[in-house]
């Protein structure tokens, strides 16, 4: 088992039954709750249940998917905690992907002004990104994660074995954040990703710690996103707007799928405004379209996207804020772009 420490909480990477047993032995708590969705209940709960037997855990199940990352589902979670008379010294285990982790952490942090929680991320996306850094929250009025807070978990327990049951589509979605980490901070990691042809057989036990250590360094330097942490939002100004908008359509996009589109658009803006070399723009575009295909963005939806970007949490004043790449492996934050430039970026994507 490998252990990294971020601020005040440990990140254990290795077999979950072992890390969970050790973690719970060090945590006095009055009651144990486990938050899962129908998929993690089926595929992930059996991996941890034997380690929890003598704690008599209470399982709270919510429906899977981003469309449930909202206040209504929080009410259900709070209702279950209340019904079982959870106190502030109870502990919640968030067993699932980024939706479970973000929303379970938010629900726990606000219940009776804050009970403790532990993150057990079970998707690639949550293992390399969502489970660390302490951003918690839910979507509201199509604006992603617009209601939330920063609060540390007691620990993060990462077991790459959970990925065995993850669908190819979800694996690919999580991989977008691996790509993002390399593009903002590590040219050699970006170059080594060029060698990966089949995600299913990739060396996750090596890739996950390498990718999350990029996030860890940035979060440690700027935990509350005063400046540098905005780097982790490369691809997200446009990506979140597209994701939030698609949430209320019949064809919602997964987070990583939307961020892949956002990274292409924002790489285009990077070439226009930061001098990202054309050859690198082409390499990024080719790499992402080869793996994520091409969505058709409707120009009729552009005004709605721009409206949503107007509520991006990075914005200062009225301008829309971006994190851009002067070159692959480097990032600058607090860059702005006007509507015509953003429209050109969306058109660039559409015309690929
Ligand atoms: N807090 C952060 O820093 C941060 C960072 C990145 C993304 N996010 C958020 O994370 C969310 C996306 O997370 P996600 O991609 O993990 O989505 P998710 O939580 O919806 O999980 C994806 C799907 O996989 C299923 N699943 C989970 N683990 C499984 C397993 N081991 N086997 C089989 N099925 C499994 C889930 O039931 C779900 O259907 C978005 O809401 C995004 O905004 C947050
Ligand atoms: O941890 C961060 O900071 C990130 O930006 C990571 C992102 O991948 C993630 O999608 C995060 O939820 C976005 O945060 P938000 O503040 O833009 O909602
Ligand atoms: Zn993201």
291-303 per-position pLDDT tens digit: 999 999 999 999 9
Fold type of domain 2-165:
Rossmann fold (3.40.50)
ipTM of the complex: 0.99
pTM of whole model > 0.90?
Answer: yes
Write out the residue limits of the CATH 1.20.1090.10 domain(s) in the chain.
168-350
- Among residues 36, 48, 33, the alpha carbon closest in space to that of 161 is found at 48
Q: Do the Cβ atoms of 270 and 281 come closer than 8 Å?
A: yes
Does ligand 2 come within 6 angstroms of the Cβ of 145?
Answer: yes
CA distance 251 to 264: 20
Cβ < 6 A, ligand 1 pocket = 37, 39-40, 43-44, 64-66, 69, 96-100, 102, 122-123, 125-126, 129-130, 133, 135, 144-145, 162, 165-166, 170, 173-174, 255
Handedness of CA 142, 144, 150, 152 (dihedral sign): positive
DSSP designation for 231 = G
Q: What was the pLDDT predicted at 7? A: 64
| 168-350 placed in CATH 3.40.50.170 | no
Average confidence (pLDDT) over 56-81: 98
Determine the pLDDT at residue 288. 98
Strand 58-62, strand 91-96: pairing: unpaired
* Sheet-wide strand order for 58-62: 2-6, 9-13, 156-158, 116-121, 91-96, 32-37, 58-62
All CATH 3.40.50.1970 domain ranges in the chain, comma separated: 2-165
Tens of pLDDT, residue by residue over 193-218, are 999 989 999 999 999 999 999 999 99
Residue 170, CA distances (Å) to 106, 122, 124, 177 in order: 23, 11, 8, 12
Task: Report residue 3's pLDDT band, with 50, 70 and 90 as the boundaries.
Answer: confident
> If you measure from the C-alpha of residue 97 to the centroid of ligand 1, how many angstroms do you get, rounded to a whole number?
3
Active site residue 233: yes
CA of 171 to the centre of ligand 1 (A): 10
Active-site position among 66, 170, 225, 243: 225
What average pLDDT does the segment 312-338 reach? 97
Q: Which of 233, 257, 314, 321 is catalytic?
A: 233
């Amino acid at each position: 088992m490998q252990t990294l420490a971020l601020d005040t909480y440990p990140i254990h990477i290795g077999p979950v039954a072992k890390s969970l047993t050790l973690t719970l032995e060090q945590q006095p708590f009055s009651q144990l709750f486990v938050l899962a969705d129908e998929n993690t209940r089926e595929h992930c709960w059996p991996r941890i249940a034997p380690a929890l037997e003598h704690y008599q855990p209470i399982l709270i199940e919510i429906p899977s998917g981003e469309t449930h990352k909202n206040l209504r589902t929080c009410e259900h979670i709070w209702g279950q905690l209340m019904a079982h008379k959870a106190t502030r010294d109870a502990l919640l285990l968030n067993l699932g992907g980024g939706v479970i982790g973000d929303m379970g952490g938010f629900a726990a942090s606000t219940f009776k002004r804050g009970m403790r929680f532990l993150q057990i991320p079970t998707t690639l996306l949550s293992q390399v990104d969502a489970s660390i850094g302490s951003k918690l929250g839910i979507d509201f009025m199509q604006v992603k994660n617009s209601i939330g807070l920063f609060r540390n978990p007691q620990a993060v327990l990462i077991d790459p074995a959970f990925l065995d049951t993850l669908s190819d589509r979800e694996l690919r979605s999580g991989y977008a954040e691996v790509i993002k980490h390399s593009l903002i901070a590590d040219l050699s990691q970006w170059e080594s990703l060029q060698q990966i042809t089949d995600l299913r057989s990739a060396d996750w036990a090596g890739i996950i710690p390498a990718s999350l250590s990029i996030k860890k360094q940035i979060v440690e330097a700027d935990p509350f996103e005063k400046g540098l942490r905005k780097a982790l939002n490369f691809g997200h100004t446009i990506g979140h707007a597209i994701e939030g908008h698609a949430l209320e359509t019949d064809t919602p996009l997964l987070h990583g799928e939307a961020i892949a589109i956002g990274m292409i658009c924002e790489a285009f803006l990077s070439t226009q405004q930061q001098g990202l070399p054309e050859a690198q723009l082409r390499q990024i575009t080719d790499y992402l379209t080869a793996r994520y295909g091409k969505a058709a963005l409707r120009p009729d939806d552009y005004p709605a996207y721009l409206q949503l970007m107007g509520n991006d949490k990075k914005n200062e004043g009225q301008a829309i804020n971006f994190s851009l790449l002067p070159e692959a492996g480097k990032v600058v934050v607090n860059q702005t772009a006007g509507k015509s430039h953003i429209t050109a970026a969306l058109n660039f994507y559409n015309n690929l």
